[in-house]
Structure 1
Amino acid sequence: MADPRAFLSFDFDHDEVQRLLFAGQARSDSPTPFTVQNWSSKTVLPQNQWEALIKTKISYTNMCIVLVGRSMASATGVAKEIAMAKELNVPVFGVYVDGAGTASTLPTGLLRNRTIGWKWGHIAAAVEQMMGEGKNA
């Protein structure tokens, strides 16, 4: 079976470096293999085109991993991506990055008990759990 596919949702304005690090480490450090694809929109698009593109990309995945940084309150696109994933029955969990933690603001739709620290053992367990919950399981 192919590795599970993950859509990474992140604050493009503040957490691009964390996304690059996370995606790179996922290939080498995670005890549970999963594939992170850079399925972000490569260009600025009108809102309706962006939403259609991202929704299609999320539909191809087994889970959505939200990288929760310190500036989530201003990341409106992240909340929309979470809502799209839920609409498509794609399970969602979060990973704290860039000094964020349990006191940090979460984007709308992401539950605190579904947000974990950046520890590969915990992330691997969350990936396995998501695979048991998702529509593409």
Structure 2
Amino acid sequence: MADPRAFISFDFDHNLTEKNLFVGQSKHSKTPFSIQDWSSKASLPQSQWEALIKSKIGKCNMLIVLCGKTMASATGVSKEIAMAKEQDVPIFGVYIGGANTTSNLPSGLQRNRTITWDWDNIAAAIDQMMTEGKNK
């Protein structure tokens, strides 16, 4: 697939700026994917939010989790990871906002699938995701 679709999962309360920078930089990098900003634009009842986000994740080739320092409190991110796993959508994480290998990760995200914010590494991770899960 020439232009894989990635759903970006992030801590809305703490990492919106980094998400916007990540999306913006991805448009001007050699990273071969498109980001769909399918986050909910309005507050919804939990059941509606879950149905909407699950549907959007299912339409993507991968879930990229932006991992900041406060990920332990990001319950929505953990739910998005669980939704991706239910639908066989491959997942990897990217450290942002000063987070590193000693930072907490959201439930369900593996440390060995979380990388630094480097476009060469991200491109390699995307290539790998396109050989896993529902992309096989």
TM-score, normalization by structure 1? 0.96
Gaps of 5+ in 1: none
Corresponding residue for residue 117 of structure 1: 116
Tell me the CA shift for residue 90 of structure 1: 0.2
Q: Secondary structure at the match of 1:15?
A: helix
Tell me the CA shift for residue 27 of structure 1: 1.4
Query: Is the aligned partner of 1:108 residue 2:135?
Result: no
Q: Secondary structure at the match of 1:105?
A: coil
| Root mean square deviation of aligned Cα | 1.0
Which residues of 2 match residues 1-137 of structure 1 at below 5 A? 1-29=1-29, 31-137=30-136
Percent identical among aligned pairs is: 66
TM-score, normalization by structure 2? 0.97
The letter of the residue matching 1:6 is A
Q: Deviations over 1:52-98 (max 9, x none)?
A: 00000001100000000011011000000000000000000000000
Contact 1:27 1:33 in 2 (8 A): no
| Equivalent pairs, count | 136
Question: For the residues of structure 2 that align with 1:19 and 1:100, how far apart are their CA atoms?
Answer: 14
Tell me the CA shift for residue 33 of structure 1: 1.2
The letter of the residue matching 1:58 is I
Tell me the CA shift for residue 39 of structure 1: 0.6
Gaps of 5+ in 2: none
The letter of the residue matching 2:68 is G
